[in-house]
Amino acid sequence: MNQLTLFFKTLGDENRLKILYELQKEKELSVGELVERLEISQPLASHHLRELKMSGLVTTRKKGPYVFYRLKNPRIFELIALAQSILEEQA
């Protein structure tokens, strides 16, 4: 799968979009914090974060036993806004 296909496939999941929005609000969150905010299981959150990291959308910082996630490039929301605008025009 090429990088662009993987990128858009990663954005095609509602939980991943929710994670990105939470990271946009808080700048940096642990898996546990995301589990609590999104009310999803820890394994599911970890799975989605792994996918987001593989696609280059988030990056990590380790502090002791905790891993913190943050957006790699906040400009991703420009793309999301453009997609929303296109969808609204088509409605």
> What is the CATH number for 74?
1.10.10.10
Is the distance from CB of 49 to CB of 86 less than 8 angstroms?
A: no
Segments forming the whole domain that contains residue 17 = 3-90
Secondary structure of residue 5 in the 3-state scheme:
helix
Burial class (CB in 10 A: 0-12, 13-18, 19+), 52: buried
pLDDT reported for residue 71:
97
Number of domains the chain contains: 1
Predicted confidence (pLDDT) at residue 1 exceeds the cutoff of 80: no
Does the pTM of the predicted model rise above 0.85? yes
Among 52, 43, 61, smallest CA distance to 17 is for 52
Question: What pLDDT, in 10s, does the model give residues 39-90?
Answer: 999 999 999 999 999 999 999 999 999 999 999 999 999 999 999 999 999 9
Q: How far apart (Å, rounded) are the C-alpha atoms in residues 52 and 72? A: 10
CB under 8 Å to 78, separation ≥6 — which residues? none
